[in-house]
């Protein structure tokens, strides 16, 4: 599980105004752990940067056009044409961009077995008469083990020199300290990532998505958004069938889809209609960007009376966590930070964004008070395991849920208990943030807690924070 031990980004580490990165269209990525965004090759031709819309788009197109020609010319696996295609289809892990779902800044890459299986599938597609290179974007629909990380790594491998060109250009403005690195036999003065001691390759914001392509038919339906005609195509025919398939049945249907050119062209048709829209950094629904900017909030809103340094008992730690949670509640409800729970379209950001908001605020207070406490947060899609600890005996887990979460009650009764056991603690805090649709859920978990207390069981504290939208002061 990926843990964020501390907050370090391009802007914070190198003292760069985030607005400058916005103007240059550069991702303010985390440096010690991956930012959960992925390069989508379908966005390359649409980029406003020449390094991408000309250089990278051309490099990507030429690589796969050549692979298609080699696969078409190959008569059998292992012949000269096949080996050349295999060499061109070898993609190692990519860590320099700090993008993906890794616990560090390491990419996923393609292993030998996955590369061989995927190339075999690609060969079958080419033998059908398919020459549209976009089919490589649909390989995740056909092959188990190919997800956004690997598609992004595949693309990054191909366009790395173009990304380096982009980095060199924008760094002439940013002036991040550089070091000489040799890439593909050529020397470049590139920014140094101090947390990996590797090159830091900057990425334009207009070529990434939170999910670069559909990795399942259900994802295709998700990205179709408001396109009625597209939704109808997905809900009917092969799309409808695949959306409910088990892995075994998908394997069977894959064989069916590869039996004719016409059948596979249905796959291409759907892929072509996926909206080519990069991740919206302004709305930042996933919370990939906004929470980083709140890391200095402790300076603006110090906790009255400060925090006790180095709590030595579980009671002292509980009091400390209670202070931080109460401060978080005050910031949300009374200091306008509730706005960070909502995107520009007046919809609540995803739960991960709320979890990261709490992490950034708690981290800020821990750092400001020089506390011997390690706040940890899951940087992937899973729930946050936010742990305050001092040695082995003093550990408190904080679990955060939005009121919109349908598993809010189960999260208190089972999920939090699992995390507590994993951390060898009986102490936990369940923080519920109300952004609507709360209904009876909060009352239910309070009732469950009361019943547990009556039975003499150890229970976790429950907090409710009102994160609903407010009208402006003039309207109130």
| Regions of the chain with pLDDT less than 70 | 1-6, 101-110, 140-149, 211-253, 256, 291-296, 298, 308-310, 368-392, 415, 417-425, 472-476
Q: First-to-last CA distance in the chain?
A: 44
Whole-number percent of the chain with pLDDT over 70: 73
Instruction: Please name the helix (run of DSSP H) or strand (run of DSSP E) that holds residue 463, with its range, or none.
Output: strand 461-466
pLDDT confidence of residue 365? 75
Give the tens place of pLDDT for each residue, 9-19.
899 899 999 89
Contacts of 171 (CB under 8 A, 6+ apart): 178, 190, 191, 202
The DSSP output letter for 153 is: H
pLDDT confidence of residue 96? 93
**Side-by-side strand order, sheet with 186-193:** 178-183, 186-193, 198-199
Contacts of 435 (CB under 8 A, 6+ apart): 341, 342, 348, 354, 402, 403, 404, 467, 468
What are the Cα distances from residue 230, in Å, to 9, 237, 291?
38, 12, 34
d(CA 8, CA 363): 12
Place of tokens 């000309």: 54
Contacts of 42 (CB under 8 A, 6+ apart): 134, 137, 212, 213, 274, 276
Q: How many CB atoms are closer than 10 A to CB 158? A: 21
pLDDT confidence of residue 255? 72
CB-count burial class (<10 Å; 0-12, 13-18, 19+) for 444: middle
d(CA 364, CA 63): 46
Distance of CA 123 to the CA centre of its chain: 31
pLDDT confidence of residue 438? 93
Three-class secondary structure of residue 430 per DSSP: strand
Residue 388 pairs in a beta bridge with 396
How does strand 428-434 pair with strand 461-466?
A: parallel
Three-class secondary structure of residue 370 per DSSP: coil
pLDDT confidence of residue 425? 66
* 62-96 exposure pattern, b = at least 16 Cβ within 10 A, e = fewer: ebbeebbebbeebeeeeeebbebbbeebebebbbb
What are the Cα distances from residue 140, in Å, to 1, 36, 108, 144, 367?
23, 18, 14, 7, 42
């Amino acid at each position: 599980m990926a843990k964020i031990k501390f907050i370090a980004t391009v802007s914070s580490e190198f003292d760069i105004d985030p607005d400058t990165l916005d103007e240059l269209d550069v991702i303010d990525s985390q440096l010690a752990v991956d930012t959960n965004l992925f390069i989508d090759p379908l966005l390359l031709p649409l980029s406003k940067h020449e390094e991408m819309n000309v250089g990278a788009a051309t490099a990507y197109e030429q690589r796969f056009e050549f692979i298609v020609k080699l696969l078409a010319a190959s008569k059998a696996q292992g012949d000269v044409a096949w080996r050349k295609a295999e060499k061109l289809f070898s993609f190692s892990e990519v860590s320099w961009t700090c993008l993906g779902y890794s616990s560090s800044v390491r990419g996923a890459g393609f292993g030998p077995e996955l590369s061989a299986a995927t190339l075999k599938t690609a060969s079958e597609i080419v033998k059908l008469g398919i020459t549209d290179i976009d089919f490589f974007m649909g390989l995740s629909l056909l092959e188990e083990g190919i997800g956004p990380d690997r598609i992004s790594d595949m693309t990054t491998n191909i366009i790395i020199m173009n990304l380096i060109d982009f980095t060199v250009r924008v760094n002439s403005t940013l002036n991040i300290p550089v070091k000489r690195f040799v890439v593909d036999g050529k020397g470049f003065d590139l920014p140094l990532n101090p947390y990996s001691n590797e090159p830091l390759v900057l990425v334009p914001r207009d070529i990434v998505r939170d999910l670069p392509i559909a990795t399942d038919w259900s994802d295709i339906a998700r990205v179709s958004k408001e396109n009625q005609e597209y939704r109808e195509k997905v809900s009917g025919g092969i799309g409808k069938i695949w959306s409910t398939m088990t892995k075994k049945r998908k394997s069977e249907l894959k064989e069916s889809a590869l039996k004719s050119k016409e059948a596979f062209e249905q796959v291409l048709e759907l892929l072509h209609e996926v909206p080519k829209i990069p991740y919206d950094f302004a709305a930042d629904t996933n919370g990939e960007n906004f929470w980083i900017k709140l890391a200095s909030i402790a300076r603006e809103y110090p906790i009255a009376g400060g925090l006790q340094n180095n709590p030595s008992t579980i009671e002292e730690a509980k009091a400390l966590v209670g202070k931080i949670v109460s401060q978080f509640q005050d910031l949300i409800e009374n200091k306008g930070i509730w706005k960070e729970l909502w995107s520009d379209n007046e919809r609540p950001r995803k739960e991960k964004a709320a979890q990261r908001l709490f992490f950034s605020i708690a981290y800020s207070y821990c750092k400001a008070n020089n506390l011997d406490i390690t706040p940890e947060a899951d940087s992937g899609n899973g729930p946050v395991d936010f742990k305050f600890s001092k040695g082995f005996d003093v550990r408190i887990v904080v679990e955060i849920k939005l009121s919109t979460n349908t598993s809010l009650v189960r999260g208190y009764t089972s999920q939090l208990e699992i995390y507590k056991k994993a951390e060898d603690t009986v102490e936990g805090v369940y923080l519920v943030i109300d952004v609507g649709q709360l209904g009876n859920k909060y009352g239910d978990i309070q009732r469950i807690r009361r019943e547990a207390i009556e039975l003499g069981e150890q229970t976790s504290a429950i907090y409710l924070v009102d994160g609903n939208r407010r009208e402006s002061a003039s309207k109130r």
